[in-house]
Amino acid sequence: HKSTLRNPKVKDLERYFNGLQSKLKGLDRQQDKEEYLSVVKENAEDIRKNVLKDLMVRRTRSVITGNYGDDLKKQNLKFPEVGDPEAIYYNFDEELDSIFTDTVDIIVNQFKYTRYTPLLYLERSLTTIEKLSQRNMQGFMRVLLLKRLESSIFAFNKSISRFIYSYEKFIEQYQKGNVYVSKKHINKIFEYLDNDDDESIQKLIDEDKATAYASEDFYDEFIVDLKADLKALKNIQGLWSNVKNDPKLEKFIELLKTDPVLKNNKLIVFTESKETAHHLEEMLNPVFDNKVRAFSSFSSPAERTEVIDNFDANARNQKDDIRIVISTEILAEGVNLHRSNVVINYDIPWNPTRMMQRVGRINRVDSKFDTIYTYNFFPAGQINENISLQEAAEAKIEAFIEMLGNDARLLTDEEIKSHDLYKRLTSRESIIGDDEDDPELRHLTFLRKLRDTDKELFNKIKKLPKKARSAKKYTEDNTSTVTFLRKGKVRKIFKTTRNAQGILSEEVDFDMAAEIFESDINTKREKIEPEFYKHLESNKKEFADVFIKESESLKPAGNRGNKAKLIQIIRAIEDSPEFTEIENDYLRGVLTLMRDGSLPKATIKKIIDGIKNENTPFKIYGKIKSGIPEQFFQSTFVTSSADTRGKREVILSEYLVRSS
Query: What percent of the chain stands above pLDDT 70?
Result: 82
pLDDT digits (tens, 9 = 90+) for 309-340: 999 998 999 999 999 999 988 887 778 899 99
Contact 227, 218 (CB under 8 A): no
Instruction: Please name which of 343, 327, 308, 324 lies closest in space to residue 266, comparing C-alpha atoms.
Output: 324
Nearest 5°: the CA angle 201, 96, 411 is 35
The pLDDT of residue 40: 85
Domain residue extents for the chain: 8-59, 89-240, 249-432, 465-660
Q: What is the pTM of this model?
A: 0.66
Could you tell me the pLDDT band of residue 183, with boundaries at 50, 70 and 90? low
Q: What is the pLDDT of residue 645?
A: 61
Residue type, 107: I
Could you give the CA distance from residue 354 to residue 337 in angstroms, rounded to a whole number?
16
Beta bridge partners of 615: none
CB atoms within 10 A of CB 260: 7
Checking if the pLDDT of 14 tops 70, the result is yes
The pLDDT value given to residue 638: 39
At 382, which helix (H) or strand (E)? Answer: strand 371-382
What is the pLDDT averaged over residues 273-299?
93
Q: Is the pLDDT of residue 299 over 70?
A: yes
pLDDT tens digits, 86-145: 999 998 888 998 999 999 999 999 999 999 899 999 998 888 777 877 888 888 888 889
Dihedral of the alpha carbons of 147, 152, 158, 161, in degrees to the nearest 10: 70
List the alpha helices (DSSP H) in 376-518: 389-404, 408-412, 418-425, 429-432, 439-453, 455-462, 510-517
How many Å is the maximal CA-CA distance in the chain? 96
Does the structure show a pLDDT above 70 at 629? yes
Could you read off the pLDDT of 240-252 as tens digits, one per residue? 999 989 999 999 9
Q: What angle do CA 520, 526, 530 make, to 5 degrees?
A: 145
Question: Is residue 400 scored above 70 in pLDDT?
Answer: no
As beta bridge partners, residue 378 has 89
CA 457 to chain centre: 41
555 pLDDT higher than 60: no
Highest mean pLDDT pick, 7-16, 227-236, 551-560: 227-236
Q: What rounded mean pLDDT belongs to the chain?
A: 82
The reported pLDDT for the residue numbered 234 is 97
Q: CA 569, CA 559: separation in Å to the nearest integer?
A: 14
CATH 3.40.50.300 fits 249-432, yes or no: yes
What integer pLDDT is reported at residue 536 of this predicted model?
94
Tens of pLDDT along 575-628?
Answer: 676 776 677 778 878 887 877 677 888 888 889 888 877 888 888 888 888 888
- Tell me the sheet residues that pair with 86: 375
pLDDT band at 384 (very low <50, low <70, confident <90, very high): low
Establish how many alpha carbons lie within 13 A of residue 518's alpha carbon, considering only the half-sphere containing its beta carbon. 13
Give the C-alpha separation, 591 to 584, whole Å. Answer: 11
What is the reported pLDDT for 306?
94
| Backbone phi and psi for residue 264, each to the nearest 5 degrees, phi listed first | -115, 10
Write down the pLDDT at residue 411: 58
Distance CA 168, CA 162 (A): 10
**Residue 381 DSSP SS3:** strand
Task: Tell me how far CA of residue 525 lies from CA of 268, 461, 474, 512, in angstroms.
Answer: 59, 17, 11, 20
Q: Which long-range contacts (CB under 8 A, 24 or more apart) does 577-583 make?
A: 578/617, 578/618, 579/617, 579/618, 579/621, 580/647, 581/646, 581/647, 581/648, 582/647, 583/621
Residue 187 has pLDDT above 70, yes or no: no
> Pick from 359, 423, 354: which is nearest to 393 by CA?
423
pLDDT of residue 481: 95
What was the pLDDT predicted at 640? 44
Residue 434's pLDDT band, with cuts at 50, 70 and 90, is: low
Say how far apart CA 369 and CA 363 lie, in whole Å: 9
Q: What is the dihedral sign for C-alpha 363, 341, 392, 156? A: negative
Q: Nearest Cα to 85, choosing from 390, 308, 334, 295?
A: 390
Strands 649-658 and 480-487: antiparallel
The CA distances from residue 195 to 40, 140, 164, 370, 452, in Å, are 26, 12, 21, 33, 49
**Vertex 619, ends 548 and 621: CA angle to 5°?**
35
